[in-house]
Structure 1
Amino acid sequence: MNPAQARAARALIGITQGNLAERAGVSLSTVVDFEKERRQVAAPSITAIRQALTKAGVEFIDPNGGGPGVRLRGGD
């Protein structure tokens, strides 16, 4: 997951950076710094952010020719 995917995922599910931080169990500054690429965020924090977004219904799309992306998981 890259910072642009994190921003797009948050927008898709309509949550704030603060709400994502709570869901992921990381600090708000960690989410902000990751999304704005201010510093290198630790891998476990990125994993926690990704897991929180996935749990909320986001699917991450690999860069398979068209670049990385996100979408909402389809309901069955």
Structure 2
Amino acid sequence: MNEERIRDYERGAGDLDEAEVQALTDALTHFGARFIPESDRGGVGVRRKFTRTKVRMIETWEGEGGPVGEDDV
């Protein structure tokens, strides 16, 4: 799926089939989106899994420890 297809969908100028919806959902979930179902407390929505601060902390943690090296002892 290309960016133009997604833009058309967001503007209401086109529909996505089930496979495209699933691919888009999977990609957004992979990058930290949380899909919230409708409940008696509110409607459906999308939220970030982590706050910006936590994302920065995770990125820092991933860079700790130095470069990857050989494991042979």
**TM-score w.r.t. length of structure 2:** 0.58
Structure 1: any 5+ residue segments left out of the alignment? 1-25
Report sequence identity in percent: 28
After TM superposition, the runs of 4+ consecutive aligned structure 1 residues lying more than 2 A away are: none
Which of structures 1 and 2 has the bigger CA Rg? 2
**Corresponding residue of 1:72:** 48
**TM-score w.r.t. length of structure 1:** 0.56
**Corresponding residue of 1:60:** 35
Output the aligned Cα RMSD: 1.6
Contact 1:33–1:41 (CA under 8 A) maintained in structure 2: no
Alpha-carbon shift at residue 29 of structure 1 (Å): 1.9
Q: Secondary structure at the match of 1:71?
A: strand
Any idea what the Cα deviations from partners look like across 1:27-74, whole Å, max 9, x if unmatched?
112211221221221111111111110000110000113111111224
Q: Secondary structure at the match of 2:35?
A: strand
Structure 2: any 5+ residue segments left out of the alignment? 55-73
Q: Greater relative contact order (Cα 8 A, min sep 6): structure 1 or 2? A: 1
